[in-house]
Amino acid sequence: MRELLLIETVTSPCGWIKSTLSDYGCNVTRVLHVKQAERALRQAHFDLILLAGEGVLPCLTDVKRLRVATDLPVIVVLPQTCAIDETSLLVAGVNKLINISIPRHALWEETKTVYDTVRSFS
């Protein structure tokens, strides 16, 4: 079973993210901000981090903090209305950017692809 850490700095869309990934057999731990994520990373094993945020700048700051604590793959989920500066997030260490309007089955496929790709290199 894949152990996923979901950091939700925005609460409304994240319920479906957790339920979708749980339906595919993932154990999803939800935290509300990056400080809680850092604590969770010290206390348990995770295979992947999903960061659902409200905008690029806050996500960029959080990703940089996470990169100090872990080398786990990071997927960032951003709102549909957000202008995405893909380059800055990828340079900061994001493995995949996803728009929140993604269909549920596609979220699983994208998550699985990132997980499988990273595992194949380790």
Please, what sign has the CA dihedral across residues 92, 14, 7, 105?
Answer: negative
Which of the two residues, 120 and 51, has the higher pLDDT score?
Answer: 51
Q: What is the CATH number of the domain that holds 56?
A: 3.40.50.2300
pLDDT at 12 over 60: no
| Mean pLDDT for all residues in the chain | 87
pLDDT at 10 over 90: no
Helix (DSSP H) and strand (DSSP E) numbers for the chain: 5, 5
Instruction: Report the domain count for the chain.
Output: 1
* Amino acid 1: pLDDT: 67
pLDDT band at 24 (very low <50, low <70, confident <90, very high): very high
Q: Which domain holds residue 94?
A: 3-121
